[in-house]
Chains A and B, each alone.
Chain A
Amino acid sequence: DSGVTQTPKHLITATGQRVTLRCSPRSGDLSVYWYQQSLDQGLQFLIQYYNGEERAKGNILERFSAQQFPDLHSELNLSSLELGDSALYFCASSVAINTGELFFGEGSRLTVL
């Protein structure tokens, strides 16, 4: 158990819909990262927050947005969903910004029909 909690574990929805994925980082970790893994591909970096502030952005679509709340949990919002958005979405946390290991949650599997 990494200490990172992601909900929901599985989500099935239709094209055009909007979903929210939630992540609770490990206790004490200030940095949260979101990654997307599609069809056994690599982990694509989406966005990073540190102590409530956005610190880095990757290949995140404009239809996607995220935030980190004062209690440090984070939410990833995916809207106007398309079939290609079907993927595993991982959240990871770390104590520092860019050093030390990342601790990953078990992921949220999104299926868009």
Chain B
Amino acid sequence: DQQVKQNSPSLSVQEGRISILNCDYTNSMFDYFLWYKKYPAEGPTFLISISSIKDKNEDGRFTVFLNKSAKHLSLHIVPSQPGDSAVYFCAASGISGTYKYIFGTGTRLKVLA
């Protein structure tokens, strides 16, 4: 039972354009969401998070949008840079009972120079 889904295994974007990575979840008890970036041979590194009391959180070039009614979140990267090429994972957690962070399967982003 995949509670957190990233349906696009890969995405290619031109440098300078917007990258949009999507994530869907099924468990309505999730109320905290995170995005991680992973380079080969390294551990995932935290990018940005959002609590369910918000619908948007911004940090520099990275913005996460949360649509609770659709159980959908997205990560926007503007402008995209070649160094952003990596695998991006979304994760979800729940304060009220589910103590674990559940990760999606990841989306491989390639930013073309």
Give the number of chain A interface residues (Cβ < 8 Å).
Answer: 27
The smallest beta-carbon distance between B37 and chain A, in angstroms, is 11
Chain B residues in 8 Å Cβ range of A16:
none
The smallest beta-carbon distance between A103 and chain B, in angstroms, is 7
The smallest beta-carbon distance between B91 and chain A, in angstroms, is 8
Is B99 within 8 A of A97, CB to CB?
Answer: yes
From A2, A42, A45, A99, B100 is in contact (CB under 8 Å) with A45
Is B44 within 8 A of A33, CB to CB?
Answer: no
The smallest beta-carbon distance between B11 and chain A, in angstroms, is 15
The 8 closest A-B pairs by CB, nearest first: A104-B43, A42-B105, A43-B103, A101-B46, A56-B100, A56-B99, A98-B99, A98-B93
The chain A residues found within 8 Å of chain B, CB to CB, are 2, 4, 33, 35, 40-45, 48, 50, 55-56, 58, 90, 92, 97-99, 101-107
